[in-house]
Amino acid sequence: MEHDLRVQQITWRVQRISWFGMVLVLVAALLGLFGSGPLSRSFAVDPGSPLRLEYERFGRQQRATMLRLHLGSDLTQGSRALVWLDRSYVESVEVREISPPPLDSMAGIGRIHYTFAITEPGRPTAITFEVRPQTIGSLSGQAGLDNESLIRFQQWIYP
């Protein structure tokens, strides 16, 4: 019987090393390197405005991810809030659900505007967009309130 022990020993060694790699990938996944986890959860702010965007740094193609705009109490003084997302971002994702539903939405040249009713003026609130990224790779977006504040954010979308 042919018996090439050298090949077998190399194979075993490579296997043992690859197991460590597999465990490392899983630990990274648990931490959120491939979406959903502490490494992925992220906040972007517009300096000088009480507007905060909560988003996931790592997403997956066709899998729902949240964009949550936190409006500070300074931003909800009126009975309406006008939020916008940049058009190229909206075109790279599928907007599945907006919660609460907007009263109105309008398409501009570079921005898509959504109008929301504010029931308790002067109190902080949040607006959540559920989106499914359609592209793979780097995805950059902008969001803001009225035409004043602007938040830039960057996502990485895995296939």
Residues that bind another protein (CB under 8 A): 19, 22-23, 25-26, 29-32, 34-37, 60-64, 158-159
Question: Could you write out the DSSP letters of every residue in 50-67?
Answer: SEEEEEESEEETTS-EEE
> Strand, coil or helix: what is 90?
helix
Least gap, CB of 46 to another protein (angstroms): 28
Instruction: Using the minimum distance from each CB to another protein, give the nearer residue, 12 or 78.
Output: 12
Least gap, CB of 159 to another protein (angstroms): 5
Least gap, CB of 109 to another protein (angstroms): 32
Least gap, CB of 62 to another protein (angstroms): 6
d(CA 75, CA 62): 32
Instruction: Using the minimum distance from each CB to another protein, give the nearer residue, 25 or 106.
Output: 25
Instruction: Using the minimum distance from each CB to another protein, give the nearer residue, 19 or 104.
Output: 19
Instruction: Using the minimum distance from each CB to another protein, give the nearer residue, 35 or 102.
Output: 35
d(CA 71, CA 109): 25
Instruction: Using the minimum distance from each CB to another protein, give the nearer residue, 61 or 140.
Output: 61
Least gap, CB of 149 to another protein (angstroms): 31
Which secondary-structure segment (H or E) carries 5?
helix 5-31
Q: How far is CA 112 from CA 11, 69, 83, 105, 140, in A?
A: 56, 15, 8, 7, 15
Read off the amino acid at residue 95.
Answer: V
Which secondary-structure segment (H or E) carries 143?
strand 137-145
